[in-house]
Homo-oligomer: A and B are copies of this chain.
């Protein structure tokens, strides 16, 4: 059994709360948040507090706050235990205080509105003491996930790659969805294309999956598309992505 104190009430904290609460191998000892209002709903199933100097004894203190708040929160945790933050972009040494330090970063995108499966979820872990790795690996395993050891530098790179893969790809879908509604085209007609995009990419690799006017050097279609895009920023984005595709691929026949 792994005893955890959860610190913070952002998206990730809520997903951890639900998961810990339903896990038989994790005991959520306490939930801290600066404002009790946000976590009040959980009072019947877990001890809640807004006092960092009243944290209960636990195996792990899991800080799930915004990146900028990690340092100041960790400074105030005066406890003899293992303290981990969950941020991809924050180095382990940003944790201050005299506690044992760690990182437990789930490589995933979280929204409050959508349940998330922890099944096979990769957790990027890092610890200052090698012996603390076992606990984090166990925790990842108890949640159904998989642990990977990465130092802070590599985790920063992983986080940057995740921005391309998730944040930027999602934004392209957003642009597509807005263009559709501008032109009264039902966005649903793109659903199978969206599914096939990532299925194919995972099956035969994104390099082999590339199709379209950019890779075909189909200038006529590229110009037509640029004409259709009224917004100058979208034109610029279209061009830079088209050039980026052409830079990665030798000309290819349809």
Contact = CB atoms under 8 A, between A and B. Distances in A.
Interface residues on A, range: 35 or more
Contact of A209 (B120, B158, B170, B221): B170
Interface stretch (A95-103, A130-138, A183-191): A183-191
A51 interface: no
A81 B177 CA distance: 38
Contact of A228 (B157, B214, B224, B245): B157
A171 B210 contact: yes
Interface in A212-242: 212-216, 218, 220-221, 224-225, 228-229, 233-234, 236-238, 240-241
A241 to B, nearest CB: 5
A162 B179 CA distance: 10
Copies of this chain, whole number = 2
Interface string A112-128: 01101000111000000
Contacts of A111: 200, 204, 208-209, 211
Q: Majority SS of interface residues in chain A?
A: helix
Interface in A177-204: 177-180, 183, 185, 189-198, 200-204
Among A169, A224, A241, the one with the most B-chain Cβ atoms within 10 Å of its Cβ is A169
Contacts of A218: 67-68, 89
Given A220-B68, A240-B240, A169 B169 contact: yes
A201 B107 contact: no
A215 B11 CA distance: 15
A72 interface: no
A109 B193 CA distance: 7
Contacts of A243: 233
